[in-house]
Homo-oligomer: A and B are copies of this chain.
Amino acid sequence: MTRENLRINAERLLRRLDELGQIGALEGGGNCRLAFSDEDKAGRDIVLGWMRAAGLDIRIDRFGNVTATRPGREDGPPVMAGSHTDTVATGGKYDGNLGVLAGLEAIETLNDAGIETRRPVAVTLFSNEEGARFSPDMMGSLVYQGGLPLEEAYGIEGIDGSTVGENLERIGYIGDAPVGGNEVHAFVELHIEQGPILEDEGRTIGAVEGVQGISWTEYTFTGRSAHAGTTPMSRRCDAGYVAAEVAAYVRRLAAETGNGHVSTVGVFEVEPDLVNVVPQKAKITADLRNFDNELLKQAEQKLEAFVDDIAGREGAAVARRTLARFDPTPFDTGMVDRIHGIAERLGYSTRRIASGAGHDAQIMARICPTAMIFVPSVDGISHNIQEYTKPEDCEAGANVMLHTLLELAE
Residues of A within 8 A of B (CB): 193-197, 200, 212, 214, 216, 218, 226-233, 235, 238, 240-241, 243-245, 247-248, 251, 254-255, 260-270, 273-279, 282, 285, 287, 289, 323, 355-358, 380, 382-383
Which chain B residues border A282 with CB–CB below 8 Å?
268
Which chain B residues border A261 with CB–CB below 8 Å?
233
B230 A241 Cβ-Cβ under 8 A? no
Which chain B residues border A232 with CB–CB below 8 Å?
195-197, 260, 262
Which chain B residues border A238 with CB–CB below 8 Å?
251, 264
Closest chain B residue, CB of each to CB of A286:
B275
B279 A275 Cβ-Cβ under 8 A? no
A285 B275 Cβ-Cβ under 8 A? yes
Closest chain B residue, CB of each to CB of A228:
B264
Known: A212-B229, A233-B251. 8 other contacts (CB 8 A): A216-B276, A229-B357, A229-B358, A233-B263, A241-B265, A244-B244, A267-B275, A268-B270
A228 B380 Cβ-Cβ under 8 A? no
A233 B255 Cβ-Cβ under 8 A? yes
Which chain B residues border A196 with CB–CB below 8 Å?
231-232, 235
Which chain B residues border A382 with CB–CB below 8 Å?
227, 230
Given contacts A275-B323, A323-B275, contact A240 B228 (CB under 8 A): no
Which chain B residues border A251 with CB–CB below 8 Å?
233, 238, 241, 244
A230 B195 Cβ-Cβ under 8 A? yes
Given contacts A195-B230, A226-B380, A260-B232, contact A274 B268 (CB under 8 A): no
Report the minimal beta-carbon distance from A376 to chain B, rounded to whole angstroms.
Answer: 12
Report the minimal beta-carbon distance from A193 to chain B, rounded to whole angstroms.
Answer: 7
A262 B245 Cβ-Cβ under 8 A? no
Q: Can you identify 26 A-B contacts, CB atoms within 8 angstroms?
A: A195-B232, A196-B231, A196-B235, A197-B232, A216-B276, A218-B275, A228-B266, A228-B287, A228-B289, A228-B356, A229-B355, A229-B357, A230-B382, A231-B356, A232-B262, A233-B255, A233-B262, A238-B264, A244-B244, A244-B268, A264-B276, A265-B279, A266-B277, A268-B268, A268-B282, A276-B287
B262 A279 Cβ-Cβ under 8 A? no
Which chain B residues border A262 with CB–CB below 8 Å?
228-229, 231-233
Which chain B residues border A230 with CB–CB below 8 Å?
193-195, 355-357, 380, 382
B268 A275 Cβ-Cβ under 8 A? no
B266 A269 Cβ-Cβ under 8 A? no
A197–B287 Cα distance when bound, in Å, is 41
Closest chain B residue, CB of each to CB of A244:
B247
B268 A273 Cβ-Cβ under 8 A? yes
Which chain B residues border A200 with CB–CB below 8 Å?
235
Report the minimal beta-carbon distance from A390 to chain B, rounded to whole angstroms.
Answer: 18
B254 A278 Cβ-Cβ under 8 A? no
A380 B273 Cβ-Cβ under 8 A? no
A356–B232 Cα distance when bound, in Å, is 9
A291–B194 Cα distance when bound, in Å, is 52
Report the minimal beta-carbon distance from A16 to chain B, rounded to whole angstroms.
Answer: 25
B268 A356 Cβ-Cβ under 8 A? no
Given contacts A232-B195, A265-B240, A356-B230, contact A275 B287 (CB under 8 A): yes
A266 B287 Cβ-Cβ under 8 A? no
